[in-house]
Chains A and B, each alone.
Chain A
Amino acid sequence: MAEPRELSFHRDERQALEVRLAGSWTKAQGLPSAAELRRAIELPAPPSRVSFDASGVLRWDSALVAVVDRLVALAREREVPVELGGLPAGVVRLVALADAVPERGGGGTPAREPGLVTRLGQGVLAAWDDAAVFVPFLGESVLAVAALLAGRARMRATDFFLAMQDCGASALGIVSLISLLVGLILAFVGAVQLQQFGATVYVADLVGIAMTREMGAMMTGIIMAGRTGASFAAQIGNMKVTEEIDALRTFGISPMEFLVLPRMAALFLMMPLLTLYADFVGMAGGMIVGVGMLDLTPEQYVMHTMNAVSMTNFMIGVVKGSVFGVLIAVAGCLRGMQCGNDSAAVGQATTSAVVTGIVLIIVTDAVFTVMCNVLGI
């Protein structure tokens, strides 16, 4: 099938260059290098004119057009007249079409890679802008909650129940798995240290307090930020792309009340429950290590846990969980509402929702810890 392509350059005594092409000029055969073509035009000196003889070409595609176009451009640069007569008619027309619109100059410079200082400055400005939209959004959601409490929010009960199912019951599986493993890990790490002075039974205290005060709420928060926050951002972002949000607005229905409120309310209600559930599953994970490896009896483990973990610890975790729920919902919905108008923007919104959600959770957790420390609880 593949006849080799042939390319040769012939100059007559008056320095007229004839480019002879033969064989199969397809992309499968590859293209002659730009340097080879440049040499042919430049060496020993630019020719007086350039013409083509393509009578031997058996088949061609855009490979031939590209080569001819390159040669024409090289010749034009040196103001050498070009004669396209010897080429297949289709090639001549394609070359003419490619040259019909001159290379764009001036109209919009392509973006240059900004320098380090510029990037830093842009980053700071972007962070500032980000904070500047976050606050009004938070305010709007508070107003939406107020409207809900006053009983005049335009929200469909179905949406609320669907959101509750999505971020409640459907999340149980992943929350169980992660909490159980976190409980196991905490118990393992604790056991290794406590064994050194024979106080292995305190593993129960360690796991119990760590799960209820910190890990239960935080791990659930992170799971929900990745799972539900991302899905909120994607859902709302997509609705932005398909103009569904605009359609709501033109009916005078506030997207805050119609879309954000049910999601926020659902997460706010479900997060404390999930946190409590995670606490217990985590403690069960600790018990597996305690009973299985440290030769504690289940009764011992449970008794120690009950003595160590106070109601205050539970309450701290549950309150954190609710706050995290609101933060995740706000981050997800905000990023969705900020989404641009194409599908790439939906991807960015989703990523950003997860990152924002996790950052907010960790920062808030730190604030909580300091506050509890100061208050002595």
Chain B
Amino acid sequence: MVAAAVQPGAAARPDAHIVIRDLDMAFGEFVVMRSLSFSIRRSDIFVIMGGSGCGKSTLMRTMLGLLEPARGEVLYDGVSFTLAPQEEREGMLRKMGVLFQQGALWSSLTLAENVALPLQQYTTLGSAEIAEVVGLKLALVGLKGFGDYYPAAISGGMRKRAGLARAMALDPEILFFDEPSAGLDPISSKLLDDLILELRDSLGATIILVTHELASIFAIASNGVFLDTQSRTMVATGSPREMLESCTNPNVQTFLRRGVPAGRPGASAASLARSS
């Protein structure tokens, strides 16, 4: 995919897993983003990037049905999620997992209960089998033996990993990550990036990242969309590296180069892109 100026209503690709079509998002009168059209391939690591407050999280929440779009629709596997009735939506949501910014673990439940709840709701497994699966999921995120802890008793990074274990509970086809590295130290956030790559490779899940963390963007994202605060729409799609090299939009360049003008030697993001 080549980074290019966006054509409104860009045709959905045949291998598209998720399609966003002519999407407008608004809070009352205030339009956050308009005319978003892009598609996400299966098993892609797709990053939604843009400056703070540009509507990245709003887009994610719209894709999850937590917010309703003002116009347009979101399609999963060619089926419109936006137009689907509530029950059908719940069925589609069951194929998705979400890691929220602060983990959003249910604070009245232990980690094991957090991971177990979706399994209890949607599978016919008995309690012993559920315990087995929960143990595995917690082990996958490096939290073996922490099942009986309450979310309040563990660190922010652990909470995030537990949130990931919960997001993976139903073996989703699509995983959403809202600012995965926010509030994590560089090493933890690198480990999380590795984990995300590992998940994609082993589960074949489509991964959608909402982030403005340049290191993560260049390290793991294979495709992405850039949301521009000024023009209130998307200004580039494609792989972040290609965007860096060939996108002509100055806002994209400023963002990807951390404010350092293009062409200057030692531009930090460019060196990041080369090194990773």
- 7 more contacts with CB within 8 A, not counting A242-B104, A244-B105, A253-B117, are A244-B104, A244-B106, A244-B107, A246-B66, A247-B98, A247-B166, A249-B65
Q: What does the 1/0 interface line of B96-132 toward A look like (CB < 8 Å)?
A: 1110111011111000000001100110000000000
B64 contacts the other chain (CB 8 A): yes
**B152 shortest CB reach to chain A, Å:** 11
Q: A252-B90, A252-B93, A252-B94 are in contact. Are A246 and B104 (CB under 8 A)?
A: yes
Give the docked Cα–Cα distance between A253 and B117 (Å): 10
Asked if B104 and A243 sit within 8 Å, CB to CB, the answer is yes
**B interface residues (Cβ-Cβ under 8 A, vs A):** 61, 64-66, 89-91, 93-94, 96-98, 100-102, 104-108, 117-118, 121-122, 166
Cβ–Cβ < 8 Å partners of A242 in chain B: 102, 104, 107
Asked if A243 and B101 sit within 8 Å, CB to CB, the answer is yes
Cβ–Cβ < 8 Å partners of A253 in chain B: 117, 121
**A258 shortest CB reach to chain B, Å:** 9
Give the docked Cα–Cα distance between A244 and B98 (Å): 11
**A238 shortest CB reach to chain B, Å:** 8
Of A243, A244, A250, which one neighbours B96 at CB under 8 angstroms?
Answer: A250
Q: A154-B121, A253-B121 are in contact. Are A247 and B94 (CB under 8 A)?
A: no
10 contacts between A and B (CB under 8 A): A159-B108, A238-B107, A242-B107, A243-B102, A247-B100, A247-B105, A250-B97, A251-B93, A252-B91, A252-B94
Cβ–Cβ < 8 Å partners of B108 in chain A: 159
Asked if B101 and A251 sit within 8 Å, CB to CB, the answer is no
Cβ–Cβ < 8 Å partners of A248 in chain B: 106
Q: What does the 1/0 interface line of A250-278 toward B look like (CB < 8 Å)?
A: 11110000000000000000000000000
A302 contacts the other chain (CB 8 A): no
Give the docked Cα–Cα distance between A327 and B101 (Å): 34
A138 contacts the other chain (CB 8 A): no
Looking across the interface, which residue of chain A has its beta carbon closest to that of B87?
Answer: A252
A239 contacts the other chain (CB 8 A): yes
Looking across the interface, which residue of chain B has its beta carbon closest to that of A251?
Answer: B118
**A86 shortest CB reach to chain B, Å:** 34
Give the docked Cα–Cα distance between A246 and B64 (Å): 9
Give the docked Cα–Cα distance between A239 and B89 (Å): 23
Give the docked Cα–Cα distance between A253 and B109 (Å): 15
Cβ–Cβ < 8 Å partners of B121 in chain A: 154, 251-253
Asked if B93 and A250 sit within 8 Å, CB to CB, the answer is yes
Cβ–Cβ < 8 Å partners of A249 in chain B: 64-66
Cβ–Cβ < 8 Å partners of B66 in chain A: 246, 249-250
Which of under 10, 10 to 19, 20 to 34, or 35 or more describes the interface residues of A?
10 to 19
Q: A154-B121, A251-B117, A253-B121 are in contact. Are A246 and B90 (CB under 8 A)?
A: no
Give the docked Cα–Cα distance between A32 and B121 (Å): 69
Give the docked Cα–Cα distance between A251 and B90 (Å): 7
Cβ–Cβ < 8 Å partners of B64 in chain A: 246, 249-250
Total A-B pairs, Cβ < 8 A: 52
Cβ–Cβ < 8 Å partners of A159 in chain B: 108
Interface of A is mostly: helix
**B244 shortest CB reach to chain A, Å:** 29
Looking across the interface, which residue of chain B has its beta carbon closest to that of A248?
Answer: B106
Cβ–Cβ < 8 Å partners of B97 in chain A: 250
Give the docked Cα–Cα distance between A318 and B141 (Å): 52
**A166 shortest CB reach to chain B, Å:** 12
**B169 shortest CB reach to chain A, Å:** 9
Give the docked Cα–Cα distance between A242 and B102 (Å): 7
Of B98, B105, B106, B117, which one neighbours A250 at CB under 8 angstroms?
Answer: B98
**B10 shortest CB reach to chain A, Å:** 27
Ranked 5 nearest A-B pairs via Cβ: A252-B90, A243-B104, A247-B104, A243-B100, A250-B98
Cβ–Cβ < 8 Å partners of B122 in chain A: 252
Looking across the interface, which residue of chain A has its beta carbon closest to that of B97?
Answer: A250
Looking across the interface, which residue of chain B has its beta carbon closest to that of A241?
Answer: B102
**B237 shortest CB reach to chain A, Å:** 25
Give the docked Cα–Cα distance between A67 and B117 (Å): 61
Give the docked Cα–Cα distance between A252 and B166 (Å): 14
The winner among A159, A247, A248, A253 for most chain B CB atoms within 10 A is: A247
Give the docked Cα–Cα distance between A239 and B117 (Å): 16
Give the docked Cα–Cα distance between A154 and B121 (Å): 7
**B81 shortest CB reach to chain A, Å:** 12
Cβ–Cβ < 8 Å partners of B105 in chain A: 244, 247
Give the docked Cα–Cα distance between A249 and B107 (Å): 16
Asked if A246 and B61 sit within 8 Å, CB to CB, the answer is yes
**B51 shortest CB reach to chain A, Å:** 16
Q: What does the 1/0 interface line of A299-334 toward B look like (CB < 8 Å)?
A: 000000000000000000000000000000000000
**B246 shortest CB reach to chain A, Å:** 33
Give the docked Cα–Cα distance between A144 and B102 (Å): 29
For chain A, residues 213 to 261, give those with C-beta under 8 angstroms from any C-beta of chain B: 238-239, 242-244, 246-253
**B158 shortest CB reach to chain A, Å:** 15
Give the docked Cα–Cα distance between A251 and B64 (Å): 10
Cβ–Cβ < 8 Å partners of A247 in chain B: 98, 100, 104-106, 166
Cβ–Cβ < 8 Å partners of A238 in chain B: 107
Cβ–Cβ < 8 Å partners of B100 in chain A: 243, 246-247
Of B61, B65, B107, B118, which one neighbours A239 at CB under 8 angstroms?
Answer: B107
Give the docked Cα–Cα distance between A146 and B40 (Å): 40
Give the docked Cα–Cα distance between A239 and B103 (Å): 12
**A292 shortest CB reach to chain B, Å:** 46
**A231 shortest CB reach to chain B, Å:** 13
Give the docked Cα–Cα distance between A244 and B163 (Å): 11
The winner among A248, A249, A251 for most chain B CB atoms within 10 A is: A251
**B105 shortest CB reach to chain A, Å:** 7
Give the docked Cα–Cα distance between A238 and B107 (Å): 10
Looking across the interface, which residue of chain A has its beta carbon closest to that of B178?
Answer: A243
Looking across the interface, which residue of chain B has its beta carbon closest to that of A246?
Answer: B66
Looking across the interface, which residue of chain B has its beta carbon closest to that of A162?
Answer: B108
**A263 shortest CB reach to chain B, Å:** 12
Give the docked Cα–Cα distance between A243 and B98 (Å): 11
